[in-house]
């Protein structure tokens, strides 16, 4: 892979860097950690330092992944014709090597924070998980055969920004402290929900570029499904988590709930159901109404905020019924 040069390259503005970092997606990075932290509180093993370290790792990986995508798509020419905000590499505002170095700087920060987690927990196998997470972030669009160009992006997002981020946050506080042998099933249920929402961000992003990606050999899941089926899958990714999240709260109530029983907990479940159903409807509205191109950019922002809301609401519900 060669790096193009541009005589027009200049120091990028703060706004440009904000665009490439994709600030609207960052709430989605901390949402699984918030959910995992709430689960840890429900289990009685919450650790603020470990939760903050997990949040730092998630944010560094998210920013690093966004920068790596900007670099790799830019040098491949994929971003030469796109409907979203301009990218740094493709626009020539900054040297491609600078974007790549910024990406690896973020990956290095994630590695340092992850090492701190390993030292605190003495769970050395987590080093392998960290290496896998960094590799997944880079090879999404980087390397000779990026898996994002083969339509596998959602699989890795579900695993790393859903299951690993949520259950890993719980694990470093719960199982690692000897409070239990494994992460409980109801955490995995909620993690599946937040993982699907994370996938919805990728789906709507790729749905926006569904007409231009194939010309550059980028056959995302949206491209493979086609626009109509991609819209249907997006709606499922956004709405199914409502039942998964509420189901996890109900599971905790049945397994660990204290107090007077179900009657006192119904309001918690009802509020979670209503709030998340309203938010899901707001996110899916434009997609259901056949929004295309740049009109889908606000959906990406709303999906990120929805994931954050999901993490907060389900975490609060788990704490309330435990």
- What are the tokens at 52? 């903050």
How many structural domains does the chain have?
1
CA contacts within 13 A on the Cβ side of 178 = 1
Residue 261 has pLDDT above 90, yes or no: no
Whole-model pTM: value is 0.89
- Contacts of 114-122 with C-beta under 8 Å, sequence gap 24+, read 114/53, 114/57, 116/53, 117/50, 117/53, 117/54, 117/57, 117/172, 120/49, 120/50, 120/53, 120/172, 121/50, 121/172, 121/176, 122/176
In a domain, 10, yes or no: no
In a domain, 192, yes or no: yes
Where is average pLDDT lowest: 28-32, 103-107, 210-214, 263-267?
263-267
Residue 314 has pLDDT above 70, yes or no: yes
- What are the tokens at 32? 């699984």
In a domain, 5, yes or no: no
Per-residue model confidence as pLDDT tens digits over 209-231: 898 888 888 899 999 999 999 99
User: Which letter, b or e, does each residue of 52-86 get, where b requires 16 or more Cβ atoms within 10 Å of its Cβ?
Assistant: ebbbbbbbbbbbbbbbbbbbbbbbbebbeebebee
User: How far apart, in whole angstroms, are the C-alpha atoms of residue 62 and residue 157?
Assistant: 11
Q: Which of 10, 114, 99 is nearest to 63 (CA)?
A: 99
Q: Which of 100, 111, 106, 25 is nearest to 60 (CA)?
A: 106
In a domain, 15, yes or no: no
Longest CA–CA separation in the chain, Å: 71
Q: Are 137 and 68 in contact (CB under 8 A)?
A: yes
Whole-number average pLDDT of the chain: 86
Residue 277 has pLDDT above 70, yes or no: yes
State the pLDDT at residue 6. 41
In a domain, 279, yes or no: yes
In a domain, 161, yes or no: yes
Task: For residue 83, name the pLDDT band (cuts at 50, 70, 90).
Answer: low
Residue 234 has pLDDT above 70, yes or no: yes
In a domain, 1, yes or no: no
User: How far apart, in whole angstroms, are the C-alpha atoms of residue 123 and residue 222?
Assistant: 38
In a domain, 153, yes or no: yes
User: How far apart, in whole angstroms, are the C-alpha atoms of residue 24 and residue 302?
Assistant: 8
CB-CB neighbours of 13 under 10 Å: 10
Q: Which residue has the higher pLDDT, 265 or 111?
A: 111
Q: Which residue has the higher pLDDT, 279 or 213?
A: 279
State the pLDDT at residue 280. 96
Per-residue model confidence as pLDDT tens digits over 189-209: 999 999 999 999 999 989 998
Domain that holds residue 138: 22-321
């Amino acid at each position: 892979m060669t790096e193009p040069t541009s005589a027009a390259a200049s120091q990028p503005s703060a706004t440009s860097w904000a665009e490439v970092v994709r600030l609207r997606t960052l709430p989605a990075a901390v949402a699984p950690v918030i959910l995992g932290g709430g689960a840890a509180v429900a289990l009685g093993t919450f650790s603020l330092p470990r939760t903050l370290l997990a949040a730092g790792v998630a944010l560094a990986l998210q920013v690093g992944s966004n920068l790596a995508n900007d670099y790799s798509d830019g040098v491949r020419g994929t971003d030469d014709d796109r409907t979203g905000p301009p990218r740094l590499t493709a626009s020539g505002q900054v040297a491609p090597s600078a974007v790549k170095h910024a990406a690896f700087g973020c990956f290095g920060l994630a590695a340092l924070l992850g090492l701190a987690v390993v030292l605190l927990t003495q769970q050395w196998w987590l080093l392998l998980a960290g290496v896998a997470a960094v590799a997944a972030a880079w090879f999404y669009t980087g390397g000779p055969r990026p898996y994002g160009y083969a339509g596998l992006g959602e699989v890795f997002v579900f695993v790393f920004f859903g299951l690993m981020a949520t259950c890993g946050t719980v694990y470093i506080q719960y199982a690692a402290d000897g409070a239990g042998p494994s992460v409980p099933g109801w955490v995995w249920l909620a993690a599946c929900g937040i993982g699907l929402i994370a996938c919805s961000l990728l789906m709507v992003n790729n749905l926006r570029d569904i007409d231009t990606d194939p010309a550059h050999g980028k056959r995302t899941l949206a491209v493979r499904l086609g626009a109509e089926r991609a819209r249907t899958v997006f709606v499922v990714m956004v709405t199914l988590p409502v039942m998964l999240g509420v189901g996890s709260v109900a599971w905790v109530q049945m397994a660990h709930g204290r107090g007077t029983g179900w009657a006192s907990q119904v309001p918690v479940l009802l509020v979670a159901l209503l709030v998340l159903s309203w938010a899901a409807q707001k996110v899916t509205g434009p997609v259901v109404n056949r929004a295309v191109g740049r009109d889908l950019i606000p959906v990406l922002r709303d999906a990120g905020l929805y994931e954050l809301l999901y993490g907060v609401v389900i975490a609060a519900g788990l704490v309330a019924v435990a």
